[in-house]
Structure 1
């Protein structure tokens, strides 16, 4: 029989209600394979409870434990104030079925599960914490809820399980500015918008803390409110006294909640292996079941693969062996004989996972430091090639090449034979990076597989596709952080200065992870019906983009400098105009001063202050105001020119490679959910083309001597795809007849004959045509056209009346997304929509994204197909033609002037036929072409 709770006992109180809510929003979504039941938050909850299996917890070890839940939504606080928590959003649909499962999970772990009708979980926790403290025991509250911080101190602390940090008295004082005993006083004054606690209007946490520290208690402050010097604050405290006192009763936890159990009933008990593993098996938590079975010394249950055809790989899945990661077992290859053995193993296998380590992230300037290989899970090696001494020892000076490394020349020669061997698949994670590094060292790596792109094809829209995300999600393993190897901040070093022993663990682990992900993802491609997407659009794009990025594009520095000067003059002119409109001078570059002018001096509506007490003036706010006043419109113009100057004419000069004299952007294949490419370092896809200033930026991109730039651009491809998908006969006919589609739309909408069309009416139709693809609202269209919202909404309503097929497409697409959790492009690209059934602001965004994804995604697929076919088509031109850039619907080439017209003919044929034979579009794809000495002239 156990002893009664007292000194030496340690009670853990888990705030189950708060944790499941945080887990739901913080952890990746996960569904049970067999039936699609949402279980992501349940998995996170179970993984937290798992820490309580076993006895090795040190000072943190509990002797007693309970998970506390809310019984219902109505408590005594609702009787005190009927608006308490009245403005909370409804529970997300995906979260609702997980609540009872967390209670079952708690019982499966043989942990006490408690709730009391009419009281919140926080009140139960307060009562138990106070009882345990009075009995002489310790208490750890597993929660980050600020409402529980009033309990901290004298043996009670909190633990944030999501961030793995403890919250003690000092942490509470840092957050609230007062000791835990006075937290309720601060909360009573500051109120709480989440729980709808009114508080004192205009008094925030910082001001409340200052007042409580000055007067000692809330009651003393209210009694002496006449002494407050600030008139508005004094008036608030006097007039709102009853409201403030009510707020304190709402935030003060009831430490005398009636309980039908005692602390002794919460004694920690070992779980029954059969019960616990049975529950985890029922949830289909494969790797979690294995970890728990190992801790309990039991046999892990066999969970069959029963995923439906539509399911992507579940995040709890694992590689077939799920061997433990053992960095100390990785091999460091220091001689050619050992390297030869590993190369032989790779050839025997027919595949090898590969990763390179370099001195930086820029593939065009970074030096190769080492290469890692993995031929089977758990068996990986690192080949150090150019590690150097940091100069700390007596034998080597700073920068000296360390001994016992394979000669770079010898290693590359041996690896070249392997990496270019067509009978061996080289597997990488983001293989484009490694391919460029190896290409600069004379190796054209092929054939390849890429786990990042496999994940992208399988799970687009679900989560990111970086190695750390994939490893933690699919292998339940957190890779060694790079900061642990190279440091951070001023003390950060390049990888060539990392000690070889440390480098081996880090680099070989990357190859090990990559192989395990490949073993998991490769068979999933077929089951998820995305093999064609991966093998025909994702993987073959890698060498195409690598070559484009290495080719780069020439940028004229003098042109950029002249533009920077011109932009400075334009900004000065706009600044003078803005000051004249405002009637006074101010710093146009200061959002706070802009807000003060617009909302206080001019009295415009819509101003909102941030936590710093200053007005926020983001673009959407200014765009709304621009529909009623010229000043915000001019400020938007000023910011646009300022961005062009800082982001392009100034920054582009820094990106010119000193060796090649060209700018080498880097494309992200798996960046956008829809399949669109993203461009970074520098971003060449966001150069605005709607303004004259933005178009001029392209004048700085020039062709080499004797060459021209050739631009081929799909004409209105997304509108054509919309007409096809939604079956809009009027639009399809206009496209087939080669009409001006925006004029045709305007004529259809407004009843204006084509020969009487005005530029203004056409502009409005164009904005609606493009806006509807992105699910634009009346608010958004009003901003774009700078017209009243009512007029903009009227345009949209009329558009749907004239083209009812578009509304039908939108309804059908969102309905499919809500039912299946995904949408698809015409080429079979799957784009998951995990937020589609969310509520609140996320719902609108998810719906717009689901509507747009099949259209934008299909357009992205078309241009990917064109890019994959292009190298073979233009091979006849040899070195006379290079594909340099892809910018949304446009491809840019650098071509010898004498073959420009021939290149245009060949490239146009490839692009206009890119959908064939997989998709037969009911509208023609049309490609417009141009050429010139610079990009602006060619486009």
Structure 2
């Protein structure tokens, strides 16, 4: 871009609100650290990409001729002298963002752009002055910011541009926001005040009311002079009493347009960046992609340019940034008193400081607010916009998000800065009697309209605990929550296997605070009421605390992701899956209720036949569902040996006991097991599934749990669709009842032997790996290796034994377990296992290495970095220790498989959309995904699904063992599987 100095009519002046833009970009984009020293650089990367777009004239028309990045110099400004409390309530600056401000200044200089700041004035005043001078010379001005305080500058020559929403802000957009033209914005702000900057305004006057008053009276001075004419008593009294406060507020919000600038308008003319200097900076930051683009644009060999020695890891200026914050260029109002800023800003130091802060700041429930008006809700929304994040939580009438009604919601923007917004509380003083809504509540419709822009704004981070539930509640109100951070999932990534990830448990663990129990406000047992019957004062304290605690947990836990190197796990495997699973739950799946009714009858008849056989074998009638009666029959009357008693003195009749007796040839225990299987199928599925059909959608909507297992596997509940038996004919009949909508079919896509493939990969077993690469029958190949039997014409019994060993080894099967499974002597089973390890020594080495690592560290990791903790692996009790060792060995395989299907699920919907397909992902069951697809799209959908699933590990992990997915379509789940 050529030099253009001095400024002329027709030029284009671009002013970047540096701090505000970086702060919002920081919350909207995933964290990024420099790999060499873990220095946070995500905001710097976003900033550099934006500058590159600007200097290459790709983003604006006409291209910028003058450009400056404008920062706040210090907190001591003329506004502080007028009103010492100005900006006194600003929230703490995020610690991993703080060290990036000096780097942003370095980036600006690397681009050969003006970096402007001036003592005594805010960046807004400097931009206002530049804009005024540019207009006077006939230039066009663009201010890159979404800050409402700058909207008073907008006119025919001055526009704003919100980079996060990619939209221009002109006169019409200002009117849409404030209800007045830009020249009256100052008067509206003087009346409404600003809780973010601590501008007092007039109590009870919000933006909407202020705009109405100004529309009637013209301007602030006239309004204040004629305030006695206003009919509304409270409004009239407040305007008279707080008139001077409104005038003070006007002084605070009015931007100065006549600052004596240290850097003149002519001095900010754009010049072509010096390519070598820019590349040296980008290489020091380790921004590989942008370095390549810049080098290509300037036709420079990037390899010949050394990183800026002062800024690369270990450089003098870089070390200073890592040790502590350079206060230049950062608003100290935001950072004042922040222990983490004072103590140091390396990721580990940030984590420790936040943990200390979490326990040092008591929860003050008296500070919470009950928001009863729309205007006040809008003020909370504005505060969330200004700081770029907000914790949110919903209160509803039930636990099913597809049927529960919203009762209210809570917001939190800082510790002890939280509110509850009641919407549909009912009843009298105790919320028990009247069916009508209690007064002074915001309507659901108005609240949704006020929240929708905020909750869908990509520049404002929404923080929650188990946000999938809240996502579904808001979706039913027409709101799609994004982007999100979930404290439950952050905890899960960091500490899977170490305690609960529920909010109450996390609060006690990290904050030393015990939140109010739900039962304390809603009662329990017969005295329990739904939340809409809870008195608002009690509901407000409980709900606001939930949002407050969630925000505090986020502040404590989020820095640990960077400090412990788990950001990638959270960003790729957890956070994006929230919305994927929420949409799957929302879609639901159809069932054939008539078929289930018939199956219930069949199962009942089968149970009846078995009961008759059981009575004949026992020589008397008894209830096979009674453990006591069964124990008395088996070990008392029939005197079958091998019985053992529970600590209560009763005979043990669990499935393991009955299976062992059945293996010994006793028929009665086998019949009991068969009866129990039919009883479970009847009660849990055939009878129960129809009760889960949603009356509005006609579908069953299961709930997926992301943080329920140590290994990363999903589970489901209400109803649980993960444990439907598939090895028996009766179990498969249940799957037949899951059907597709008319004109559609179900596609089942299932990973073939994924854990065995991962075993061959991780254990580096050449023969197994080669077998998978060659597409051989892995069980037949194993049998051939172990027993010396040719694959061709191999007896099915030999292959069955090899299959049992293959899968048994993954789960740490013992000789006893394998003997029971194959009905062979324990010595023979032990010999099989020994021979297996001799033929595949890599597997034994893998198990030994995993066991040793887990004993030393207390955890194992999957191929994708997920950490699975087993704190009891060092237990003194041998059986507990052995169980944990087996679980740790299996976790690397099962966890890696779980990570792979998660990656596939995250990528699936974009891939289907890109292919122009309407297929809808409905269910995930371990290694299987279920889709509902239009008949005419089946042939096109299956290849896309298989491609995504089979290539899911790439580029994070390139497997040597290929993944294979079997996929087929049918009218019901069983036939598709």
Same fold at TM > 0.5? yes
Distance 1:677 1:901 in 2: 29
Please state whether the residue corresponding to 2:413 is helix, strand or coil: strand
Match of 2:671 among 625, 628, 634: 634
Match of 2:928 among 886, 890, 896: 890
Q: How many residues align?
A: 638
Alpha-carbon distance, 1:439 to partner:
0.2
Q: Where in structure 2 are there 5+ consecutive unaligned residues?
A: 1-338
Q: 1:623–1:786: 8 Å Cα contact kept in structure 2?
A: no
Alpha-carbon distance, 1:633 to partner:
2.4
Match of 2:579 among 535, 538, 543: 543
Distance 2:650 2:441 in 1: 58
Task: Indicate the residue corresponding to 2:203 in structure 1.
Answer: none
Deviations 1:70-107 (A, max 9, x none): xxxxxxxxxxxxxxxxxxxxxxxxxxxxxxxxxxxxxx
Alpha-carbon distance, 1:312 to partner:
13
Deviations 1:559-611 (A, max 9, x none): 10111111122223333343444455433222223222322333333212234
Distance 1:308 1:750 in 2: 57
Distance 1:549 1:806, change over 3 A: same
Distance 2:972 2:340 in 1: 63
Task: Indicate the residue corresponding to 2:862 in structure 1.
Answer: 825
Match of 1:469 among 498, 505, 516: 505
Task: Indicate the residue corresponding to 1:141 in structure 2.
Answer: none
Please state whether the residue corresponding to 2:871 is helix, strand or coil: coil
Is 1:564 the equivalent of 2:600? Answer: yes
Distance 1:312 1:459 in 2: 18
Distance 2:450 2:885 in 1: 53
Distance 1:832 1:316, change over 3 A: farther
Distance 2:702 2:428 in 1: 32
Task: Indicate the residue corresponding to 2:632 in structure 1.
Answer: 596
Match of 1:797 among 830, 834, 838: 834
Q: 1:881–1:893: 8 Å Cα contact kept in structure 2?
A: yes
Distance 2:530 2:951 in 1: 47
Q: Where in structure 1 are there 5+ consecutive unaligned residues?
A: 1-300
Deviations 1:396-429 (A, max 9, x none): 9612100011121111101001101111000001
Distance 1:310 1:910, change over 3 A: farther
Task: Indicate the residue corresponding to 2:536 in structure 1.
Answer: 500
Task: Indicate the residue corresponding to 1:653 in structure 2.
Answer: 690
Distance 1:782 1:656, change over 3 A: farther
Q: 1:359–1:495: 8 Å Cα contact kept in structure 2?
A: yes
Distance 1:780 1:722 in 2: 20
Deviations 1:466-498 (A, max 9, x none): 001100000000000000010001110000111
Deviations 1:840-883 (A, max 9, x none): 12101110111011110000000000000001011146683100
Alpha-carbon distance, 1:713 to partner:
0.3
Task: Indicate the residue corresponding to 2:947 in structure 1.
Answer: 909
Q: 1:623–1:784: 8 Å Cα contact kept in structure 2?
A: no
Match of 1:711 among 740, 745, 748: 748
Task: Indicate the residue corresponding to 1:874 in structure 2.
Answer: 912
Match of 1:387 among 425, 429, 433: 425
Is 1:770 the equivalent of 2:815? Answer: no
Q: 1:311–1:528: 8 Å Cα contact kept in structure 2?
A: no
Alpha-carbon distance, 1:640 to partner:
1.4
Q: 2:340–2:349: 8 Å Cα contact kept in structure 1?
A: no
Q: 1:312–1:458: 8 Å Cα contact kept in structure 2?
A: no
Match of 2:480 among 444, 462, 482: 444
Distance 1:438 1:674, change over 3 A: same
Distance 1:400 1:442 in 2: 25
TM-score of the two chains, using structure 2 as the length reference: 0.63
Within 5 A, what are the aligned runs for 1:15-414? 317-319=355-357, 322-390=360-428, 398-414=434-450
Distance 1:593 1:306, change over 3 A: farther
Deviations 1:801-837 (A, max 9, x none): 2222111111100101111121100001111221111
Distance 1:307 1:766 in 2: 54
Distance 1:689 1:901, change over 3 A: same
Task: Indicate the residue corresponding to 1:481 in structure 2.
Answer: 517
Distance 2:439 2:939 in 1: 56
Distance 1:611 1:810 in 2: 35
Task: Indicate the residue corresponding to 2:716 in structure 1.
Answer: 679
Distance 1:620 1:314, change over 3 A: farther
Q: 1:312–1:459: 8 Å Cα contact kept in structure 2?
A: no
Task: Indicate the residue corresponding to 1:63 in structure 2.
Answer: none
Please state whether the residue corresponding to 1:616 is helix, strand or coil: coil
Distance 1:709 1:519, change over 3 A: same
Q: 2:854–2:873: 8 Å Cα contact kept in structure 1?
A: yes
Q: 2:340–2:354: 8 Å Cα contact kept in structure 1?
A: no
Within 5 A, what are the aligned runs for 1:817-856? 817-840=854-877, 841-856=879-894
Distance 1:639 1:899 in 2: 42
- Stretch deviating more after TM superposition (772-781 or 680-689): 772-781
Task: Indicate the residue corresponding to 1:696 in structure 2.
Answer: 733
Is 1:932 the equivalent of 2:944? Answer: no
Task: Indicate the residue corresponding to 1:85 in structure 2.
Answer: none
- Stretch deviating more after TM superposition (742-751 or 538-547): 742-751
Distance 1:769 1:580, change over 3 A: farther
Distance 2:652 2:348 in 1: 44
Distance 1:641 1:680 in 2: 20
Distance 1:599 1:320, change over 3 A: closer
Q: 1:627–1:788: 8 Å Cα contact kept in structure 2?
A: no
Q: 1:319–1:519: 8 Å Cα contact kept in structure 2?
A: no
Task: Indicate the residue corresponding to 1:605 in structure 2.
Answer: 641
Please state whether the residue corresponding to 1:756 is helix, strand or coil: coil
RMSD (CA atoms): 2.5
Distance 2:551 2:361 in 1: 12
- Stretch deviating more after TM superposition (399-408 or 760-769): 760-769
Distance 1:572 1:308, change over 3 A: farther
Distance 1:845 1:306, change over 3 A: farther
Distance 1:862 1:310, change over 3 A: farther
